[in-house]
Amino acid sequence: MAISSNNPALSSWIPAPEGTDFPIQNLPFGVFSDAQNPRPRPASIIGNTVIDLCALEELGYFTNLLPAAAPVFSGSTLNPFLQLGKPLWRAVRQRLSDLFNADNDALKNNTAHCAKILFPLENCSLHLPVHIGDYTDFYSSREHATNVGIMFRGADNALMPNWLHLPVGYHGRSSSIVVSGTPIRRPKGQMQLQDGQPPVFGPSRLLDFELEMAFVTGQGKPLGTPINIEEADDFIFGLMLFNDWSARDIQKWEYQPLGPFLGKNFGSSVSPWIVTLDALEPFRTAAPVQEPAVLPYLQYSGNKALNINLSVFIQPEGGAATQICSSNTKYLYWTMEQQLAHHTVNGCNINAGDMLASGTISGPTPNSFGSMLELTWRGTKPLTLSDGAERKFIADGDTVIMKGYAQYPGNGLRIGFGEVSGKVLPAL
The CATH number of residue 91's host domain is 2.30.30.230
Give the pLDDT confidence score for residue 410 in this predicted structure: 81
pLDDT band, residue 1 (cuts 50/70/90): low
Decide if 408 is inside a domain: no
Binned at pLDDT 50, 70 and 90, residue 331 comes out as very high
Q: Round the average pLDDT of the chain to a whole number and report it.
A: 97
Number of domains in the chain: 2
Catalytic residue check, 144 = yes
On whether residue 18 sits in a domain, the answer given is yes
CATH number of the domain to which 234 belongs: 3.90.850.10
Residues 72 and 142 in one domain: no
Q: How far apart are CA 52 and CA 42, in angstroms?
A: 6
Query: 114 and 14 in one domain?
Result: yes
Distances (CA, A) of 66 to 58, 88, 93, 233: 12, 7, 12, 21
Catalytic residue among 113, 127, 131, 144: 144
Looking at the fold, whether 123 and 62 belong to one and the same domain comes out as yes
Q: Is residue 362 part of a domain?
A: yes
The DSSP code for 393 is S
Structural domain of 66: 4-127
Strand 309-315 relative to strand 305-306, pairing:
unpaired
> pLDDT-based confidence at 412, cuts 50/70/90?
confident
Both 182 and 239 in one domain: the answer is yes
d(CA 14, CA 315): 32
- Statement to judge: residues 198 and 66 lie in one domain: no
Q: Are residues 249 and 224 in the same domain?
A: yes
Residue 256 pLDDT grade (very low, low, confident, very high; cuts 50, 70, 90) = confident
Residue 228 confidence (pLDDT) above 80: yes
Considering the domain architecture, whether residues 79 and 199 belong to the same structural domain is answered as no
Q: Confirm whether 425 is domain-assigned.
A: no
User: What is the amino acid identity at position 377?
Assistant: W
Pairing of strands 41-46, 30-34: antiparallel
Which is it for the CA torsion 379, 403, 187, 142, positive or negative? negative
Q: Do the bridges between strand 414-425 and strand 184-185 make them parallel or antiparallel, or are there none, so unpaired?
A: parallel
Residue 239 shares a structural domain with residue 358: yes
At 298-316, the pLDDT tens digits run 999 999 999 999 999 999 9
* pLDDT tens figures, 114-170: 999 999 999 999 999 999 999 999 999 999 999 999 998 898 889 999 999 999 999
Strand 383-384, strand 41-46: pairing: unpaired
Q: What is the pLDDT of residue 163?
A: 97
**Residues 231, 167 share a domain:** yes
- Indicate the SS3 state at residue 329: helix
**Pair 149, 287 in one domain:** yes
Average pLDDT rounded to a whole number, residues 380-407: 98
Q: Are residues 25 and 149 in the same domain?
A: no
Would 402 be classed as within a structural domain? no
Residue 317 located in a structural domain: no
* In a domain? residue 391: no
345-388 pLDDT, tens digit per residue, is 999 999 999 999 999 999 999 999 999 999 999 999 999 999 99
SS3 185: strand
Query: What letter does residue 215 receive in the DSSP assignment?
Result: E
Residue type, 331: Y
Peptide bond before 257: cis, by omega within 30 degrees of 0?
yes
Domain boundary among 83, 105, 127: 127
DSSP state of 101: B
Shared-domain flag, residues 247 and 148: yes
